Amino acid sequence: MKLLISNDDGIFALGVRSLANGLAAAGHDVTVVCPDRERSATGHGLTLHQPIRAEIVDSFFDPNIKAWACSGTPSDCVKLALWALLDSPPDFVISGINQGANLGTDILYSGTVSAAMEGVIEQIPSIAISLTSFSSQEFQNAVKFAQTLLAQLALKPLPEVMLLNVNVPAVKLQEIAGVTITRQGVRRYIDVFEKRIDPRGKTYYWLAGELLEEVEPQGLNLPQDIPTDVQAIRNNFITITPLQYNLTYASGLKQLPKWDFNFP
């Protein structure tokens, strides 16, 4: 398959190098376009008021991989690749391997998921892959699963264009309980801003989100017999959550009252 790989941890992150080299070794045609530095939690941000630059990166990936470092956001990287750098569309856009989980409502802020979603917006099936640890450097289980998933998708293509959000627990291979399809859960945080003083005596604030609780999503008309990604990860399952970019609240379409605004 022809694959476009991006991320939000930057071109020199071990996760993307492990993924790209592993998929190239499996026989895929791999192109990498990543931010030139870490761009975590940038969501779908785009660069509109300054130029975007892309430089070829040599001697970091497998020799068969062509790689660019891009000055923009993860979404910029995928857009630039699809519209300017690649000579033809890829079969899949893959984002990762992210350092840290992308579960529940975290995906709304995730640069990793946003990069993959850019592929879906352009009608290209996409995959976001995350390792659920901010410290572990053991990406091989996630690489092996990416190889396995693509082999499955080659035999059984997706019925329609979607994003598969994959989270791999940061445990030993024998401790992984299996693979399960999940729905998106909810993760809530207390957004704590720590007030600090810089060396010049000026005040600044440092955001440190503190996990408050994980709750069951309500009112979404989703099958309750399918576990959430948050629940399944607790039990050491690899989770696959199908996502779309259309955020219309289906239940709301039926529940909203028939207001009579008399407007205009």
Question: What does each C-alpha distance from 71 to 13, 75, 79, 199 come to in angstroms?
Answer: 15, 11, 13, 30
pLDDT score for 188: 80
Other CB atoms closer than 10 Å to residue 52's CB: what's the count? 16
Full domain range(s) for residue 180: 2-184+223-254
> Could you tell me the sign of the dihedral formed by the alpha carbons of 210, 38, 40, 195, in that order?
positive
Could you tell me the two tokens for 42? 């940038």
Distance of alpha carbon 23 from alpha carbon 156, whole angstroms: 18
Q: Quick check: is 9 in a domain? A: yes
Whether the CB-CB separation of 131 and 41 falls below 8 Å is answered with no
Q: Quick check: is 161 in a domain? A: yes
Question: Structural domain tally of the chain?
Answer: 1
Q: Quick check: is 212 in a domain? A: no
Distance of alpha carbon 73 from alpha carbon 254, whole angstroms: 37
Q: Quick check: is 72 in a domain? A: yes
Distance of alpha carbon 28 from alpha carbon 41, whole angstroms: 29
Q: Quick check: is 15 in a domain? A: yes
State the amino acid at position 174 in one-letter form.
Q
pTM beyond 0.85: the answer is: yes
Other CB atoms closer than 10 Å to residue 136's CB: what's the count? 14
Q: Quick check: is 114 in a domain? A: yes
Distance of alpha carbon 131 from alpha carbon 120, whole angstroms: 22
What is the residue-wise DSSP string for 68-118? EEESS-HHHHHHHIIIII-SS--SEEEEEEEES---GGGGGT-HHHHHHHH
pLDDT score for 213: 62
How, if at all, do strands 2-6 and 92-99 pair?
parallel
Whether the CB-CB separation of 94 and 3 falls below 8 Å is answered with yes
Q: Return the closest-CA partner of residue 69 out of 113, 20, 7, 112.
A: 7
Distance of alpha carbon 196 from alpha carbon 159, whole angstroms: 52
Whether the CB-CB separation of 236 and 170 falls below 8 Å is answered with no
Distance of alpha carbon 151 from alpha carbon 146, whole angstroms: 9
Q: Which residues of the chain have pLDDT under 70?
A: 213-221
Residue 160 sits in a domain whose CATH number is 3.40.1210.10
Q: Quick check: is 203 in a domain? A: no
Q: Quick check: is 238 in a domain? A: yes
